Amino acid sequence: MSRVLIVGAGLTGSLCACLLRRELQSQVHIVVWDKAKGSGGRMSTSRPPHASSHSADLGAQYVTATPAYAQSHHSFYSELLSAGVLQPLHCHIEGLQQKHGQENYVTPRGMSSVVKHFLSESGADLFFERHVTGLYRHGASWEVERKAGGSETFDAVILTMPVPQILQLQGDLETLISDQQRQQLDCVRYSSRFALGLFFSPEVVFGFSWGAKYFMDSPCIRYIAVESRKRSADISGLAQSLVVHTSVSFGLEHLEWDKEDVQPIILQELHRLLPHLPQPISIKCQKWRYSQVLTTVPNSPGHMTLLQAPSLICGGDAFSHSHFDGCVDSALSVIRALKASLRV
């Protein structure tokens, strides 16, 4: 049985683990590592400071399916809808640019529930706070080093973290990447942004009617959402939470600032846009250095095989498109490549 390590417990990593389980169940032992304290990646859901508050999606907000993807990825959408992980978006989002035939979906239990669903289906051994720092080839296997010390050996490794983090890995990776592959990886560009989660006391009622809104005339804030309204969730007994996303230009301008210095600027603009907003009882600030992929690997191949044997394969939305279906495409591509390298 081959030991396969998937680095990254985001959407692509969880899909890879799930597909491996379903297609090669008796032939692989699946292990997933993530440097964070929980799963989700850019589909993370922040737990509230108090059990009486609503959770907050600080990353991706909803899933948009084009007619073509709704057909080609029908099995994935059907599975998530049947499991109650996804449901149609019903709330009013001001400024949402809706194209003909598109369907939007939200997650009643938060965006991380999509990732958690696929991880649960995978049966993988899941470990958090495992930050990979180096890859070393030893014959037919990989020795994978962790930041906290120690290493483990695997027969195949799948890397699903952002491309700049892949290029920072120590060990044998630098000699394995061809000049052409490095040029392709160097083409990848990401947007950056900050996100705030504001948690309120139970008696707070918002005076505006929308569930979410895009702000096109603010130099700082691009999007605000009331989590319960966005998800059409029953919040009986739960306090409200608000999510604020900054614009791409603001994120880039303040990328190297500390979160503590950026938060007051965002809050000042928030109170300009919503002057009657009550004071929250708690605030969480998230910096997304790698928010959305602006420029993918040329021709969007879905994956990149750095070594056939022992297998070392890169995947993620940087190799396809920066949305749910891009991650599905990448995961399918990665698994096809891995099966070919394992000759199964």
The CATH number of the domain where 29 resides is what? 3.50.50.60
**Structural domain that includes position 8:** 2-35+129-188+297-342
Residues 81 and 198 in one domain: yes
Q: Which amino acid is at 216?
A: M
Average pLDDT score over the chain? 95
For residues 135-174, one letter each, b for 16 or more C-beta atoms within 10 angstroms of the residue's C-beta and e for the rest, the string is bebeeebbebbbeeeeebebbbbbbbbbbebbeebebbbe
Residues 103 and 206 in one domain: yes
Asked whether residue 122 is domain-assigned, the answer is no
| pLDDT band at residue 71 using 50, 70 and 90 as cut-offs | very high
Is residue 259 helix, strand or coil? helix
Domain for residue 123, yes or no? Answer: no
Kindly state whether residues 28 and 145 are assigned to the same domain.
yes
pTM, 2 dp: 0.96
Q: Specify the CATH number for the domain of residue 59.
A: 3.90.660.10
Reported as a single tens digit per residue, the pLDDT across 190-246 is 999 999 999 999 889 999 999 999 999 999 999 999 999 999 877 667 889 999 999
pLDDT band at 344 (very low <50, low <70, confident <90, very high): low
DSSP label of 41: G
For 71, the 3-state DSSP assignment is: helix
Q: What is the largest CA-CA distance in the chain?
A: 64
Q: Residue 235: what pLDDT?
A: 67
One DSSP character per residue, 200-255 reads: --TT---S---SEEE-SS-SSEEEEEEHHHHTT---TT-B-EEEEEE-HHHHHHTT
Does the pLDDT of residue 343 top 80, yes or no?
no
Same domain flag for 198 and 88: yes
Quick one: 201 and 281 in the same domain? yes
Over residues 311-330, the mean pLDDT reads 97
